C-alpha cells in the first residue's frame, strides 16, 4: 500500500519538476513539415508484437501513403523493429523509459528533437495512455494533427484524462469500453483512423528474414521463466519439474531463455533439474531477433505471461502460458481465430469460473491471485494435451 502511494507522489513530483522544461520547449518555434507522421509506442515487447502489423496498413493507406513515417519506440524492442519493420518505417527515435521518466535533461533532449522535427501528424494508438510518457510527447510535439485513443477508462485514469490530457489531442478516437483482446483493439483503432475495414486476421513475424542461426539441431522445447512483475513469475521448482517432464517423457532438449536479469532464476531451475544433460542455458545470450528465431524453431514454449508468448503466437509456435490472470481478456487468452495453439493455465478461481463474464471483468485491469497456487501437474496435463497435436 505504501509503495502505491509513493509511486503516486513520485509521479506528481516529476510532473512538477518538468514544468520548467515544458516552459523552455514552448519557446521553440515549430516549422511543421508536410507529409510527416510520428507514431508513438512506448510499451513492452508483447504490446509491440500485437501492434506492429498495422503499421503497414497505415503506410499503404490512401490517407498516409505519401507520408514519411517515424516510429518513437521503447528501446527494449529496437532489434525487433529494426529487423522486421525497417522497410516500412523511415526513421526511428528510441527512448529509454527510465531515463525519460527520471532524467530531466534526457527528457528535454528527446522532446526538443521531436519538436524541432516539426511533424504534421502524430498518432498515439496506446489504449492505456501514460501522462508522463506518450501524452507528454503529444503535448509538446507541436504537430498540427494529434490523434489518440480515448483510452482504458479504469477508475485510476478516467478523471486524469478528462481533466488533463484529453485536451492534448486534436482528435480522440472513441474506443468501446468492452473488454477486447489487444490485437482487436488495435484493429478497431486503425479502422477508425483510416476509415476502412482491415483484413488483418492475426499477428505475424516473418522469420525467413533472420539469417543468423543458433545451430540447434535436435528437437527442443523453450522454457522462458522471466516476467517483469514478481506476482507474474511462477517459481523455479515448478519450471524445473516441467523441464524434467519434457526431457524424460519426450526426450527433447530444454532451452532456458530470457534476459540477463533472469540469470539467477535460470541457474536455480537448472540446479533443481535431474536431467541436466538435456538443458542448454541461453539466458542473457540472445538478442531479441535471435530469441524470435529460437522460439520459432521450438516444438513448444512454456512461459509466464510475457512478451515471449506473443512472439510465439506471431511465429506460430504452440505455447503453454502460466498466468495469474492479470489483464484477463485484454492480453490473454488468445482468441482461437488469431492463434489456436495458445494454452493457458490459471489459478483455480479463474479456471472454475472462466465462462462467467463477471470473472473476466473482475480481472480485466489487475489480478493479485497467487500464480504459485498453480501446480506443476496442472501444467503438465495441458502440455500432454498439446503434445498430441505435435506428433
Domain assignment present for 199: no
Q: Quick one: average pLDDT of 100-125?
A: 94
Note the pLDDT of residue 38.
98
Q: Considering 132, 165, 194, which residue would you say is the last residue of a domain?
A: 194
Do 166 and 239 share a domain, yes or no?
Answer: no
Q: Please indicate, yes or no, whether residues 354 and 240 belong to a single structural domain of this protein.
A: yes
DSSP summary character for residue 61: S
pLDDT category at 151 given cuts 50, 70, 90 is: confident
d(CA 149, CA 171) in angstroms, rounded, equals 9
- Domain identity same for 188 and 231: no
Question: Final residue of a domain: which of 163, 194, 225?
Answer: 194
What confidence score (pLDDT) does residue 218 get? 82
373: nearest Cα among 325, 320, 324: 324
Q: Band the pLDDT of 390: cuts 50, 70, 90.
A: low
In a domain, 19, yes or no: no
The pLDDT assigned to 45 comes to 97
CA pair distance 364, 246, nearest whole angstrom: 33
Q: Say whether pLDDT at 73 is over 90.
A: yes
Q: Are residues 36 and 129 in the same domain?
A: yes
60 secondary structure, DSSP code: H
Q: Does 167 lie in the same domain as 96?
A: yes
Max CA-CA distance within the chain?
A: 67
pLDDT tens per residue across span 165-213: 889 999 999 988 889 999 999 999 999 999 999 999 999 999 999 987 7
In a domain, 13, yes or no: no
- What is the model's pTM? 0.92
Residue 89 within a domain: yes
User: Which one of 194, 224, 254 terminates a domain?
Assistant: 194
Residue 202 lies in a domain: no
Question: Do 190 and 225 share a domain, yes or no?
Answer: no
Report how far residue 100's alpha carbon sits from residue 336's, in angstroms, rounded to the nearest whole number.
38
- Domain range enclosing 328: 210-390
Q: Residue 309 domain-assigned?
A: yes
Q: Are residues 313 and 262 in the same domain?
A: yes
Q: Are 193 and 147 in contact (CB under 8 A)?
A: yes
CATH code for the domain of 172:
3.40.50.2000
The reply to whether 172 and 318 lie within a common domain is no
Q: How many other CB atoms are there within 10 angstroms of residue 174's CB atom?
A: 10
Beta partners for residue 319, in sequence order: 301, 342
The confidence band for 162, taking pLDDT boundaries of 50, 70 and 90, is low
| Cross-strand partners of 10 | none
pLDDT band at 10 (very low <50, low <70, confident <90, very high): low
Claim to verify: residue 247 and residue 298 sit in the same structural domain:
yes
Average pLDDT over the chain reads: 91
Query: What is the full DSSP assignment across 93-133?
Result: EEE-HHHHHH-HHHHHHHHHHHHHHT-SEEEE--SS--TTT
For strands 279-281 and 253-256, give the pairing.
Answer: parallel
More confident residue, 5 or 243: 243
In terms of domains, do 268 and 165 share one? Answer: no
| Residues sharing a CB contact under 8 Å with residue 82, sequence separation 6 or more, in sequence order | 92
Is residue 205 in a domain? no
Query: What is the tally of structural domains in the chain?
Result: 2
Phi/psi at 365 (5° precision)? -100, -30
pLDDT of residue 17: 67
Whole-number Å distance between alpha carbons of 133 and 168: 13
Is 203 among the domain residues?
no
Neighbours of 115 (CB within 10 A): 19
Chain centroid to CA 352: 28
pLDDT at 72: 98
Mean pLDDT calculated for residue range 119-146: 94
Amino acid at each position: 500500500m505504501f509503495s502505491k502511494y509513493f509511486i503516486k507522489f513520485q509521479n506528481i513530483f516529476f510532473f512538477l519538476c518538468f514544468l520548467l522544461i515544458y516552459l523552455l520547449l514552448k519557446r521553440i518555434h515549430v516549422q511543421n513539415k508536410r507529409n510527416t507522421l510520428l507514431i508513438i509506442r512506448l510499451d513492452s515487447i508483447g504490446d509491440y508484437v500485437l501492434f506492429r502489423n498495422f503499421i503497414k496498413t497505415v503506410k499503404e493507406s490512401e490517407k498516409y501513403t505519401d507520408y514519411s513515417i517515424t516510429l518513437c519506440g521503447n528501446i527494449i524492442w529496437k532489434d525487433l523493429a529494426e529487423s522486421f519493420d525497417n522497410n516500412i518505417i523511415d526513421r526511428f527515435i528510441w527512448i529509454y523509459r527510465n531515463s525519460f521518466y527520471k532524467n530531466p535533461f534526457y527528457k528535454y533532449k528527446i522532446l526538443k528533437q521531436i519538436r524541432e522535427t516539426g511533424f504534421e501528424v502524430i498518432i498515439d494508438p496506446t489504449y492505456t495512455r501514460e501522462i508522463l510518457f506518450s501524452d507528454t510527447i503529444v503535448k509538446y510535439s507541436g504537430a498540427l494533427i494529434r490523434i489518440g485513443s480515448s483510452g482504458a477508462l479504469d477508475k485510476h485514469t478516467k478523471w486524469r484524462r478528462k481533466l488533463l490530457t484529453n485536451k492534448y489531442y486534436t482528435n480522440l478516437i472513441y474506443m468501446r469500453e468492452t473488454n477486447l483482446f489487444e490485437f482487436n483493439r488495435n484493429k478497431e483503432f486503425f479502422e477508425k483512423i483510416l476509415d476502412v475495414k482491415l483484413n488483418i486476421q492475426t499477428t505475424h513475424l516473418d522469420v525467413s528474414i533472420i539469417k543468423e542461426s543458433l545451430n540447434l539441431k535436435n528437437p527442443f522445447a523453450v522454457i522462458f521463466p522471466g516476467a517483469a512483475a514478481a506476482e507474474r513469475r511462477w517459481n523455479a521448482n515448478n519450471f524445473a519439474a516441467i523441464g524434467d517432464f519434457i526431457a524424460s517423457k519426450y526426450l527433447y532438449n530444454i532451452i532456458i531463455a530470457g534476459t540477463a536479469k533472469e540469470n539467477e532464476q535460470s541457474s536455480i531451475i537448472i540446479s533443481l533439474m535431474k536431467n541436466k544433460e538435456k538443458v542448454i542455458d541461453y539466458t542473457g545470450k540472445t538478442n531479441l531477433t535471435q530469441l524470435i528465431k529460437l522460439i520459432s524453431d521450438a516444438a513448444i514454449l512454456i512461459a509466464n505471461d510475457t512478451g515471449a508468448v506473443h512472439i510465439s503466437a506471431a511465429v506460430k509456435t504452440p505455447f503453454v502460458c502460466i498466468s495469474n490472470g492479470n489483464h484477463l481478456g485484454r492480453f490473454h487468452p488468445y482468441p482461437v481465430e488469431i492463434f489456436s495453439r495458445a494454452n493457458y493455465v490459471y489459478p483455480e478461481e479463474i479456471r472454475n469460473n472462466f465462462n462467467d463474464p463477471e470473472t473476466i471483468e473482475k480481472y480485466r485491469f489487475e489480478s493479485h491471485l497467487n500464480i504459485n497456487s498453480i501446480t506443476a501437474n496442472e501444467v503438465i496435463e495441458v502440455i500432454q494435451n498439446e503434445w498430441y497435436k505435435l506428433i
